[in-house]
Amino acid sequence: MPAGVPRVLAVATITIGLMMSVLSNSMTNLALPYIAKDLQITAESSIWIVNAQQIALIVMLLPVAALADIVGYRHVYRVGLILFSIASIGCALAPSLPWLLVGRTFQGLGGAAIVSVQPALVRAIYPRAQLGRGLGFNTTVVATSLAAGPSIGAALLSMAPWPILFAAYAPLGVVSFMLAHRYLPHTTHTRRPFDIASAALSGTAFGLLIFAIDGVAHGHQVGMVLAEFALAAILGTLFVRRQKALTDPMMPLDVFRRSIFALSITASTCTFTAQGLAFVSLPFFFHTVLGRDAAATGVLLTAWPLALAAIAPLAGRLADRHHAGLLGIVGLASMATGLFLTALLPANPADGDIMWRLVLCGAGFGIFASPNNRLMMSAVPRERSGSAGGIIATARTLGQTLGAALVAVVFGLFDFSSGGATDAARAAIWLAAGFAFTALIVGSLRLKY
């Protein structure tokens, strides 16, 4: 794609779409108490407002990514923007929980179309020599949106009721769609049929897996959870066997035979699991164990995403010139060290002692993420960019979901609500450090390639 204004505006449209998809979760979490009160539903029921989008997102990531390889990334992205925007208006007008859940489900479907093609669009927009820079900028957008989400949500809620949190996406979607229509590059399509059976198998398998993980986190009946895991495993196996038999599979298994891709996607899943564990457990740790109030906890937590946002663009540029595997080792070592040191915090630490540890974590994640994404995208043929992007997004979503579920499991084991808060919170952070260290070991194996 030519440099200059067209590239800047192409980057602008995917930036807006990515911000919308990230903010839709962080701002909605903040509004759950207000929504529950207004719709007269229980706090437990309100959790499904988050789960509905999350499940729809992970169910559709692989099918939508495969479809994008066939019909074109820009077309799928634009449809995702339209669907997300219309669903957001539906959420804003929702008079009841079922209506809102339908809207959130369609938001998840639109979000899958937006998120799954992001790496492929970055690859199409930026020249190969600047791919790391583009992916690094995307990582910065995600981190900045995560950090700003609660503040933006709080500001909007101070001006209007909770529907504004959904209505705000409509004008953003319109702007992004207009830019996408004019400036996103056309890409070569892959001529193959769309496999509906594979889409059904993968979507159902991932949906059951998320239900099972959520069941573990919320103490559902053991028999039901085991049945969900078992059925997810059976359908997943059938999906993989079908992919092996197809000439043009939905999920190209041959990319996993590329050691660089297989090791990188494994390290990515472990890293996002570690981040999910940390993001959910740290607020409890700061508030319940260290005695910080809500405002102080919010300030402390921003150290991680802000450090990530600051370092990711630099890491992306470095990845264009240096071995991404080596950068990953540096980043994961920093993240694991920061988590280990956070778990070892004394009973009454100063704010500065907490924040520099979280800066280590966030900076380490930023140094790892951008080069790792560049390594994965460069390891697959250009015509598989959409499918590879879907696999990357699925690994990220699955890791974050698993991390959040593991926090609930750990808190249950240590009886968080009955005096075990200190041990439970520290155990969750130790587990996060363990996943980061595992990612470091796996990532280190890439140096020989």
pLDDT in tens, 252-295: 777 788 888 888 899 999 998 998 888 878 877 887 788 887 67
Instruction: Give me Rg for the CA atoms of the chain.
Output: 21
Rounded Cα–Cα distance for residues 107 and 362 (Å):
28
**Beta strand residue intervals within 250-407, DSSP E:** none
Fold of 252-449: Growth Hormone; Chain: A; (1.20.1250)
Give the pLDDT score at 171: 92
- Please identify every stretch of the chain with a pLDDT value under 70, giving residue numbers as ranges: 1-5, 30, 43-44, 47, 147, 188-190, 217-218, 294, 382-386, 415-421, 449
Give the pLDDT score at 44: 61
Q: Where exactly are the structural domains of the chain?
A: 1-180, 196-250, 252-449
Run of H or E residues at 421:
helix 421-444
Work out the percent of the chain whose per-residue pLDDT is above 90.
23
Record the pTM: 0.79
Name the CATH architecture for the domain at 1-180: Up-down Bundle (1.20)
Give 337's contacts (C-beta < 8 A, 6+ positions apart). Answer: 360, 364
Rounded Cα–Cα distance for residues 235 and 243 (Å):
12
Q: What is the dihedral of CA 250, 256, 257, 262, to 10 degrees?
A: 170
CA distances from 201 to 54, 71, 233, 250 (A): 18, 21, 11, 11
Asked whether the domain spanning 252-449 has the same topology as the one spanning 1-180, the reply is yes
CA distances from 179 to 76, 89, 128, 349 (A): 14, 21, 23, 48
Give the pLDDT score at 244: 84
* Per-residue tokens: 431: 């587990």
Residue 202 and residue 62 in contact, taking contact as beta carbons nearer than 8 Å: yes
pLDDT in tens, 79-120: 999 999 999 999 999 889 999 999 999 999 999 999 888 888
Give the pLDDT score at 359: 94
Ramachandran bin of 195, using left for φ above 0, alpha for ψ from -120 to 50, beta for the remaining angles: beta
CA distances from 213 to 53, 218, 226 (A): 16, 9, 10
CA distances from 310 to 141, 184, 255, 314, 327 (A): 10, 27, 31, 8, 16
- Asked whether the CA dihedral 353, 355, 358, 362 is positive or negative, the reply is negative
- Asked whether the CA dihedral 168, 105, 119, 75 is positive or negative, the reply is negative
Please give the single-letter amino acid code of residue 214. Answer: D
Q: 3-class DSSP state for residue 237?
A: helix
Give the pLDDT score at 415: 64
Cα 276 to chain centroid distance, Å, stands at 9
